[in-house]
Amino acid sequence: MSPRSVQLGIGLILAGTMGRGIGAAERVVDEVSVSKRRGVATAEVALGCGMRYQGHRSVNDGAELAVELRFTPSCSQLLQGVYSELYIPRGRDLGTLRDVEFTSTDPGRGWLIFRFRYPAVFDVTQGANSGGLSVRIRPAGPREDQPQAGVDRSPLRLNPAAAVAAPGLFVVQLAAYREGRPNLDSLAAATNATLYETDFSVDGEQWTALRAGFFASEDAARGLLESFPPDAFPDAFVAAAASRERDQAAPLEPAGEPAMAGGSKLHPGEPSMDPERIDELMVEAEAALRDQRYGRSIQIFERVLQEPGAGHRRRARELLGVARQRNGQSAHAQAEYQAYLTEFPQGADADRVRQRLASLAAVDVIDAAPPRQVGTSGNNSSWDFFGGLAQYYRRDVNRPLAEQRSIVTQSALWSLGEFGFARRGQRFDVAGRLSGAYDYDLLQQGQARQGAGSASYAYLDVTDQELAVTARVGRQTRYRGGILGRFDGAHVSYDWREDIVFNFALGMPVDAPRYAPSTRRVFYGGSVDWNDVADAWDFSVFAQWQQVDGIADREALGAEIAYRHERWNLVGTADVDVSYGVLNSALLIGNWRISDRMTLHGRWDLQAYPFLTTRNALIGQQVTTVETLLLSYTQGQVRRLARDRTAQASNAVVGLSAALSERWQVSADINYSEFAATVASGGVAAIPASKGQLFLATSFIGSSIFKAGDTTIFTVRHNATRSSDTSTVIFDLRYPLSRGLRLSPRLALSYRDTVTGGRQWVASPNLRAIYRWRRSHRVELELGGHWSSTQQPIDTVLFLYGSDTREESSGYFLNVGYWMDFG
């Protein structure tokens, strides 16, 4: 058995361990499932190939989460050029999650963008396995600008009709405050000015500005400002004012109340306003509520409620609660609704207020989606259905040598389908997902033509909110708690406390979706997660036992530790096989955001390669099961074979990303890796140590260089290994041709110099076109080719004399298809 075939075997086993690669019709984001316990939602992301978590940032005021990922080598080979896809997660309502988008514009790295309906705060963790990560979504706390039912959360747009500062209109802004209006006694002298307040929201906080106006010149306004003692209003300044501000200013009396017509001292029970004035104020307050000037509407409703009489009080009390609710003052809103029900317990309006109160009591910020309006659509079901359908045709044609004919190496139609559902109940949440594919090989003729089906997911998920228990049964994927990926079985988690979760799992590992459930390998295990320790630490420990054909396959103990800080974070994991006494994986990842323009990241890992299980004994053998191997070897010998096939690999990466200007950014990585030798045994040759391998990559990433919205990437790579040095130059472009159409041309030129004196040039042009509409439909066409010229020196080729040999090969591929999501 040659070292090369052993390496191939290792590769196959790794492919099985890592799950499927990214085919043209497959997806980077394999699955995002959201579950929620005790107010904290967790999104588990299963990735189609290995990616290492680098860091994350909350953007758009917490409405988006951007998770940076760096590809493992296997992923880098599969994901080249500019790439993006959209994923609509199952159970997304639990975390108010709209969708998840994966984008990759930089070589070797990508971003997972989580978009939420409402702002939240996030914790992102990843264990030793690079095939997945989890995002915990917690309430961001009350937000004054949080939208309510019916409020459009579309991106901000200018309202051209908005009032603008009127020429020659100035005011003095005396103070701005979130609560506690300053003493107005010192303003008694300002008899020639109108005192008024304006409300506005800044970064989620409600502010009120106390102003005095209006003046025809800045000098006049400054005159008023200078008439106050210097320390009376230290933050005061003269400001230009809008004409609408003058029209809508409600003058304050020195006591701070809105000045009312005929306003005198108020006495409870005695009307101080005539009904017409009350009606006017109600109109103004409701207009302020509609305009989202909640502070002003609250102020007027409170004033109106000082007036006796059921007619206006009924409506004012309810709308005061609404205004406070929309202003983010949940406790005040609840108090107002309760006061309403005390004062007006009967009637249809009371039922509506009870519904408002109930929804307010039940809803926390993370779950603040508007309550379903029973009866409004004729459908009061809380079932949520989703799915998707995709088909791709792939054709590969290769010409191994210039003088040979072209060979069609692949011609296949890939069909993928997915269906899922989720239902939220008072106590139980139920969800399910079925995801499968069918590959139809068109190369074979007639009856020999055949296809192959596969199932990526087939599970049922039940959550008991009362017991805080969640169970998932069926084919599923998980990457935490020592579980290595896809399996058929059950996973149960129990939230003992808000910060401590117990997990139990039992199942049969599945190498790839095409495999049926098999009892040859069985595992069981458990883990304990302790999160948010001192608001900075997460801990997890696990134990797992796995058998293959009746003997121990893996007996693992491990731990994961994560620490996060505003500008940096650290993640460390360890996985030890106690039966072999081998450190299967030790990993340390760090990210440091030096500034908004510069990020430094590093990673060090020490891993058994491939991941040590007794099944590694099959590498290089003619048999395909451990059971068969046990006919020739004892259990101890089989385990020895497994140990001999497993190398120790170490890898270290240091990288830097920095913005050079508004349009250009540079990214540079240095990667050093080393593989230890394996031992010859069982008829399988040893693999020598790799010595140090160095990978250098630098990318210049431009935005809006040729056209607004485009992305341009120049990349230079150099790989130095024991057998060769390879230098590569890559040009990538994503060009927005129209609103929905994107063209992505790519050209890679590579030069390889081997230790035997050989030289190879490879050119790989590629063009990808994607047309999207309605965000959930996509049509894709990709054409690519490669030409290579290899020159070998004469002393390495037998029977040829006189000159070096030159071989040329070429090939092209076509990939065309569509993708549709629904639900």
Partner 1 sequence: MIVRWLFSALLISALGACTTVPGISSHFDEDTGLTVVALQEPVVLARAVPRLATAARDYVYLGPVRINRMGSIESYIWVGAASTLDRAAAGEAPPLAAGLVLLLDGVPMQLVLEDWQDQIAPPYRVSAPLYATRRARVATDQIARIAAAGSIQVYLTSDAGATAAYAPWHGSYGSWAQLAQDGAGAPRRTARAR
> Given the complex with partner 1, which of 172 and 638 has the nearer CB atom?
172
Candidates 185-193, 332-340, 439-447, 735-743; binding stretch for partner 1 (CB under 8 A): 735-743
Shortest Å distance, C-beta 805 to partner 1: 44
**Among 185, 231, 235, 403, which residue interacts with partner 1 (rule: CB under 8 A)?**
235
Q: Which of residues 263-302 bind partner 1 (CB under 8 A)?
A: 292
Candidates 197-205, 488-496, 514-522, 791-799; binding stretch for partner 1 (CB under 8 A): 197-205
Shortest Å distance, C-beta 366 to partner 1: 18
In 3D space, the residue among 383, 411, 387 whose CA is nearest the CA of residue 397 turns out to be: 411
Shortest Å distance, C-beta 238 to partner 1: 4
Which stretches does DSSP call E strand in 27-116? 29-37, 40-47, 51-59, 64-71, 83-87, 97-106, 109-116
Candidates 13-21, 108-116, 361-369, 686-694; binding stretch for partner 1 (CB under 8 A): 108-116
Q: Which of residues 207-226 bind partner 1 (CB under 8 A)?
A: 207, 209, 218, 221-222
How many CB atoms neighbour CB 245 within 10 A? 20
Q: Is residue 443 involved in binding partner 1 (CB under 8 A)? A: no
Q: Which of residues 642-701 bind partner 1 (CB under 8 A)?
A: 657, 659, 661-665, 667, 701
**Among 742, 746, 752, 768, which residue interacts with partner 1 (rule: CB under 8 A)?**
742
**Among 446, 739, 795, 799, which residue interacts with partner 1 (rule: CB under 8 A)?**
739
Q: Is residue 818 involved in binding partner 1 (CB under 8 A)? A: no
Q: Is residue 66 involved in binding partner 1 (CB under 8 A)? A: yes
> Given the complex with partner 1, which of 110 and 420 has the nearer CB atom?
110
> What is the chain's Cα-based Rg?
33
- For residues 592 and 567, the answer to whether their CB atoms sit within 8 Å is yes
Q: How many helices (H) and strands (E) does the chain have?
A: 11, 35
Q: Which of residues 110-139 bind partner 1 (CB under 8 A)?
A: 111, 113
How many whole angstroms separate alpha carbon 101 and alpha carbon 45?
Answer: 12
> Given the complex with partner 1, which of 95 and 110 has the nearer CB atom?
110
Shortest Å distance, C-beta 79 to partner 1: 15
How many whole angstroms separate alpha carbon 64 and alpha carbon 101?
Answer: 11
Tell me the DSSP string of 191-226: TTSEEEEEEEEETTEEEEEEEEEEESSHHHHHHHHH
Candidates 40-48, 97-105, 315-323, 605-613; binding stretch for partner 1 (CB under 8 A): 97-105
**Among 2, 7, 8, 61, which residue interacts with partner 1 (rule: CB under 8 A)?**
61
Q: Which of residues 609-628 bind partner 1 (CB under 8 A)?
A: none
Residue 247, helix vs strand vs coil: helix
Which string of b and e fits 751-786 if b means at least 16 CB within 10 Å? ebebeeebbbebebbbebbbbbeeeeebbbebebeb
Integer CA distances (angstroms), 377 to 154, 257, 381, in order: 23, 44, 10
Which string of b and e fits 626-659 if b means at least 16 CB within 10 Å? beebbeebeeeebbbbbbbbbbbbbbebebbbee
Q: Is residue 176 involved in binding partner 1 (CB under 8 A)? A: yes
Residue carrying structure tokens 């006017």: 280
Q: Looking at this protein, which amino acid is placed at residue 516?
A: A
> Given the complex with partner 1, which of 103 and 470 has the nearer CB atom?
103
> Given the complex with partner 1, which of 39 and 709 has the nearer CB atom?
709
Integer CA distances (angstroms), 17 to 138, 487, 673, 755, 774, in order: 32, 11, 21, 33, 36
How many whole angstroms separate alpha carbon 373 and alpha carbon 703?
Answer: 44
Shortest Å distance, C-beta 115 to partner 1: 9
Using CA of residue 395, residue 398, residue 404, residue 407, what is the dihedral sign?
negative
Tell me the DSSP string of 629-670: HTTTS-HHHHHHHHHHH-EEEEEEEEEEEEE-SSSEEEEEEE
> Given the complex with partner 1, which of 430 and 659 has the nearer CB atom?
659
Q: Is residue 413 involved in binding partner 1 (CB under 8 A)? A: no
802 dihedral zone (left: phi>0; alpha: psi -120 to 50; beta): left
Shortest Å distance, C-beta 116 to partner 1: 14
> Given the complex with partner 1, which of 167 and 180 has the nearer CB atom?
167
List all residues 6 or more positions away from 770 whose beta carbon is below 8 Å from its beta carbon: 84, 741, 742, 744, 778, 779, 780
Shortest Å distance, C-beta 160 to partner 1: 7
Q: Is residue 103 involved in binding partner 1 (CB under 8 A)? A: yes
Q: Is residue 57 involved in binding partner 1 (CB under 8 A)? A: yes
Shortest Å distance, C-beta 710 to partner 1: 7
Shortest Å distance, C-beta 739 to partner 1: 5
**Phi, psi at 708, each rounded to 5°:** -55, 125
**Among 775, 800, 806, 822, which residue interacts with partner 1 (rule: CB under 8 A)?**
775
> Given the complex with partner 1, which of 159 and 634 has the nearer CB atom?
159
Shortest Å distance, C-beta 361 to partner 1: 25
> Given the complex with partner 1, which of 152 and 276 has the nearer CB atom?
152
**Among 702, 765, 793, 823, which residue interacts with partner 1 (rule: CB under 8 A)?**
702
Q: Is residue 567 involved in binding partner 1 (CB under 8 A)? A: no
Which stretches does DSSP call E strand in 402-514? 407-424, 428-441, 451-464, 469-478, 485-497, 500-509
**Among 147, 371, 572, 765, which residue interacts with partner 1 (rule: CB under 8 A)?**
147
Tell me the DSSP string of 321-359: HHHHHHTT-HHHHHHHHHHHHHH--SSHHHHHHHHHHHH
Shortest Å distance, C-beta 578 to partner 1: 41
Shortest Å distance, C-beta 712 to partner 1: 9
Q: Which of residues 150-169 bind partner 1 (CB under 8 A)?
A: 151-160, 162-165, 167
For residue 239, give the DSSP letter.
E
The number of residues that bind partner 1 (CB under 8 A) is 79
How many CB atoms neighbour CB 260 within 10 A? 22
**Among 519, 596, 636, 799, which residue interacts with partner 1 (rule: CB under 8 A)?**
596
In 3D space, the residue among 290, 324, 325, 318 whose CA is nearest the CA of residue 304 turns out to be: 318
Q: Is residue 173 involved in binding partner 1 (CB under 8 A)? A: yes
**Among 117, 734, 746, 768, which residue interacts with partner 1 (rule: CB under 8 A)?**
734
Residue 83, helix vs strand vs coil: strand
In the sheet that 205-215 helps form, which strands lie side by side, from edge to edge?
Answer: 194-202, 205-215, 165-177, 237-242
Q: Is residue 395 involved in binding partner 1 (CB under 8 A)? A: no
Q: Which of residues 453-472 bind partner 1 (CB under 8 A)?
A: none
Candidates 239-247, 274-282, 646-654, 792-800; binding stretch for partner 1 (CB under 8 A): 239-247
Own/partner pairs, 361-365, CB within 8 angstroms, 24+ separation: 361/334, 364/39, 364/139, 365/118, 365/119, 365/120, 365/139, 365/140, 365/141, 365/142, 365/143, 365/146
**Among 64, 93, 336, 488, which residue interacts with partner 1 (rule: CB under 8 A)?**
64
Shortest Å distance, C-beta 481 to partner 1: 30
**Among 40, 124, 238, 252, which residue interacts with partner 1 (rule: CB under 8 A)?**
238
**Among 223, 263, 451, 736, which residue interacts with partner 1 (rule: CB under 8 A)?**
736
**Among 1, 220, 232, 240, which residue interacts with partner 1 (rule: CB under 8 A)?**
240
Residue carrying structure tokens 């005198």: 264
In 3D space, the residue among 488, 480, 479, 482 whose CA is nearest the CA of residue 459 turns out to be: 488
**Phi, psi at 615, each rounded to 5°:** -65, -15
Q: Which of residues 704-723 bind partner 1 (CB under 8 A)?
A: 704, 708-711
Q: Is residue 200 involved in binding partner 1 (CB under 8 A)? A: yes
Candidates 33-41, 52-60, 269-277, 633-641; binding stretch for partner 1 (CB under 8 A): 52-60
